[in-house]
Chain A
């Protein structure tokens, strides 16, 4: 079963499948991201939207037909990927390069300890010194917590040894800004040629130069903010994953105790004498773990959201998690009361 949505595209009304809508939305966003010049972007997008509406109209047989994922895939095939819209001669070389997926490696050519910072910097298309500064900053203010994450990255990431791996590591910096620059250059070029005929040419040149400088500044700032949020997201995901993993290990260990019916030899272990409360160990432990786990799961989701802001979790999931959490809290309180009343 799938939800159907009503959309207005290029002034026309369509019924569209939810998944198809998501795909179409993503596609239009991708195009939007390619053109940063406001006026131009609006114009291009409106034109493309009305063309898509036209193509969809050709495809559907009756007015109430729902547009499916296949229809959208067909549209995208006809319209092409945004990076195929590039007009400059370098564009095609770039396309070739960007087919290499970027991958996170340690950079052996530019390292202080292990090359983790350099690898991360290449991955996000940033300068190494900034990444090192952030590491240092976070390392100092988290009482060494980030040293731990650094060590994990050191262990997990492999060194880029071959040329192919090094190329993959460097990949391409985020293509969107590159492309935007290219297109803007192209526009300036055409305007230049036309305007050169009159005396405004010099003024225009100066104007486009200052504009270029501020755009560049804004871009750098934008990139930095983007990097920082993604980085925080990564840290959250890592930390909460470790937390959840830890909880799972606790659960597993207790489960093994229960399964093999190990007697508790040490009088100080478990710290709370649940065994003599007359309820299974599971009953006492699982709710307590869930009370801790749900907030950690939320931290994990927050981290993921920072990395991919588009993914929004369904209400159902939130309700489920909240329900489990409340139930666990109540059970924990119940177990606690029983424990306390055991003394009386």
Chain B
């Protein structure tokens, strides 16, 4: 067992949640999403994002539309769907529960 792998697994588990969260307020194109995720050190290599986006889209949690950009070719803007918003709400709850559970467990066992 090495810690890097375990950490990577933890991150991967919540990556979908993070992508939906990043898109909650406004639509973004892939590079913007990447910048957010990289800034937060949620992903290491960029390729990871694309299968997830495709997966979320086929699950109808995300949607996209093409838009002309001032510099270069048209961009594909991703936005969250109504279904996605519901999904995100549930995930937020789930995440909070998990956070509390972990906090509770680690605190109790540290102090004893």
Contact = CB atoms under 8 A, between A and B. Distances in A.
Contact of B48 (A10, A85, A187, A191): A85
Given A85-B50, A194-B83, A50 B76 contact: yes
Interface in B1-23: 5, 8-9, 12-13, 15
Given A10-B73, A40-B58, A194-B59, A47 B53 contact: yes
B94 interface: no
A12 B71 CA distance: 11
Contacts of B30: 47, 50-51
Given A44-B54, A80-B45, A92 B5 contact: yes
A97 to B, nearest CB: 12
A78 interface: yes
B59 A187 contact: yes
A10 B72 CA distance: 10
A85 B51 contact: yes
B45 A79 contact: yes
A193 B22 CA distance: 22
Chain A interface size range = 35 or more
Nearest to A192: B59
B45 A89 contact: no
Contact of B46 (A44, A51, A53, A91): A51
A47 B13 contact: no
Contacts of A187: 55, 58-59
Contacts of A96: 5
A114 B15 CA distance: 50
B54 A43 contact: yes
Given A89-B12, A187-B58, A194-B83, A11 B46 contact: no
Contacts of A26: none
B32 to A, nearest CB: 11
Contacts of A85: 45, 47-48, 50-51
Interface of B: 5, 8-9, 12-13, 15, 30-31, 34, 44-48, 50-61, 72-74, 76, 83, 87
26 contacts: A12-B72, A12-B73, A40-B51, A40-B54, A40-B55, A43-B57, A47-B76, A48-B50, A51-B46, A79-B47, A80-B47, A81-B45, A81-B47, A85-B45, A85-B51, A87-B55, A89-B12, A92-B8, A96-B5, A187-B55, A190-B56, A190-B59, A190-B61, A193-B59, A194-B83, A194-B87
